[in-house]
Amino acid sequence: MKILIASTNPGKLIEIRSILADDKFHLVLPADLRYSLEVVEDGLTYAENASLKAVAHARRSGLLAVADDSGLEVDALDGAPGLHSARYHPRPGASDADRRQYLLQNLAGRQRPWKAHFHCTVALASPRGQVWFAEGDCPGEVIPEERGQNGFGYDPIFWLPERGQTMAELPSEVKNQISHRARALQAALPILEKLHAQGW
């Protein structure tokens, strides 16, 4: 069963490939099919953004496509940065490190702990426009200092109290079992299994 991963984010690609590592699934990228596609993520929800990407890539490639949209939601900031996590910094072209520092600036002076959770919605789309969704969450806290060299995005300041580590300190094989993206993809597996059984 050939599945297109509708993303160019290197961190996401590594995680998705690890989580969906199964002999039944042959994962390909847009680059493997020699095309590129920019999709404007102007949806009002994670599901809308994930669907926009998955549907566009499924139609372009003729394959079942998987896409996700995710974000960090901080209680003290009323759920921000949330849907805008990847574009949270006011300066265009800001790096992950810039966004982390901007988040911490906005949290400065607010009472800790800074409760937060990562959310991910995965969309699976067929070339005919059918869409299926799955979701996952990972609770934790934001801490004021960066720790760890793994992961990407907000991982170095996302603390997992039950593990005593940030997401960026976890070995990748552990992160790919407990992260919001892992949980969403694990929730999507029964859908993929069903589609595989139907001959996709």
- Rounded to the nearest 5 percent, the helix, strand and coil shares of the chain are 40, 25, 35
In angstroms, rounded to a whole number, what is the distance separating the alpha carbons of residues 66 and 99? 26
Q: Do residues 183 and 120 make contact, with C-beta atoms less than 8 angstroms apart? A: yes
Helices and strands per DSSP (H, E), number in the chain: 5, 7
What does the block give as tokens for 33? Answer: 């099919």
Phi and psi angles of residue 164, each rounded to the nearest 5 degrees, phi first: 65, 30
Annotated catalytic residue, options 69, 78, 98, 155 = 69
Output the 3-class SS for 114-149. EEEEEEEEEEEECCCCCEEEEEEEEEEEECCCCCCC
Q: Does a cis peptide bond (omega within 30 degrees of 0) precede residue 161?
A: no
Task: Tell the residue number behind the tokens 């566009």, with chain if given.
Answer: 56
What does the block give as tokens for 164? Answer: 């005593």
137 is catalytic: no
Q: Which of the residues are catalytic?
A: 69
